[in-house]
Amino acid sequence: MEIPSNVFIFDTPEQLAVAAAERFVDYEYAFHGEPERFSVALAGGKTPRRVYELLATERFMHRVEWDHVDLFFGDERCVPPDHPDSNYAMAYESLISKVPIPAKNVHRIIGESDPEESAKLYENQLKTFFAGVSWPRFDLVLLGMGEDGHTASLFPGSDALAEKTKWVVATKPEGSMRYRITLTVPVFNQAARIMFLVTGAGKAGRLAQVLYPRPDAGPVPAQAIKPVDGSLEWLVDSAATPLL
C-alpha cells in the first residue's frame, strides 16, 4: 500500500529527533519579528525527550527566540512536578531548565492537586492565553502514540476521548490507579500543525491500523486527530513501519 505523503520515515530514533527539532525551529522561525507568540503543546512520554534535549543544544537553541515561545502541555500524569513520571519534569530536565525561556512562558499542568480542579484551572489558563476564541489554536502540537493507539491521555473508549466541549479534562485510564489531565480532541484538531512522533516495533501494528483504517477494526484515539485547518505529520522510525 502506498505510504501516505505526510508520513516521514527515519532509519533511527536519533534521525527522527533531529528532524523534529529542525521542524520546531523552522516553524518557530516564522514568528521572528512578529508580535504573535509561538504556542506549543508539548508531548509527554519517552519519545519526545530526545527532541527536547536537541533543542537545548548549541545546534538549535540559538535559532529560537525563546522569549516569544509559550510552552504548554498536551497532558500530564497526576504526580508532583519532580516525580519521575511527570511530563513536566521530563520537559524541565531535557529542555526548559537549559534554554532562556522566561518562566511565565511555561504553562505547567498542576499534577499534584485535585485532578478536576487542575483541569478547570488549566482550561482557564488556556482561555486567558487564547482569549476570545471558541477553541485555542496552537501553532504546534507534539503528540506520541501508545501501543494501544492512545495519544496524549486520550485512551480507547474513554470519556475524555469523546469530549466535545471542554478544552481540558481529568481522566483515569482503565486499570490505572492514577488520574491524568489531558487536552481534548477538539483542541488538538484546531492546531496549525500537529506532529506525531512514533518509534519502535511495538507500535507497528497500531501505526498501520491508524494510517490504513480497516472497516472491521474499531477506531483508536490517534485516528481522532484530524486537524480542521492545519497540517498533520507522522515522524516515524523504520522499526515502526514494517506493516506499512
**Interacting residues with ligand 6PG (CB under 6 A):** 43-47, 74-75, 87, 144-146, 150-153
Minimum CB separation of residue 46 from ligand 6PG in Å reads: 3
- Rounded to the nearest 10°, the torsion over CA 192, 89, 87, 241 is 80
**Least distance CB 131 / ligand 6PG (angstroms):** 26
Q: Which residue is nearest to ligand 6PG (CB)?
A: 144
* CB contact at 8 A, 129 and 70: yes
CB of residue 206 vs ligand 6PG: minimum separation in angstroms? Answer: 11
Q: Are strands 193-198 and 180-183 parallel, antiparallel or unpaired?
A: unpaired
183, β-bridge pairs? 168
Between CA 175 and CA 154 the distance in angstroms is: 14
What are the beta bridge partners of residue 232? 194
By beta-carbon proximity to ligand 6PG, the closer residue of 47 and 189 is 47
CA atoms within a 13 Å half-sphere pointing along the CA-CB vector of 69? 23
DSSP string, 78-92: SS-TTSTT-HHHHHH
Decide whether 39 or 68 has the Cβ nearer to ligand 6PG: 39
Nearer to ligand 6PG among residue 136 and residue 146 (C-beta) = 146
Residues 6+ apart with CB under 8 A from 101: 66, 67, 69, 71
Task: Decide whether 47 or 68 has the Cβ nearer to ligand 6PG.
Answer: 47
The rounded distance, in Å, linking the Cα atoms of 17 and 144 is 12
Q: Closer CB to ligand 6PG, residue 39 or residue 199?
A: 199
3-state secondary structure of 32: coil
The least CB distance from residue 85 to ligand 6PG, in Å, is: 8
For residue 160, the minimal CB distance to ligand 6PG (Å) is 12
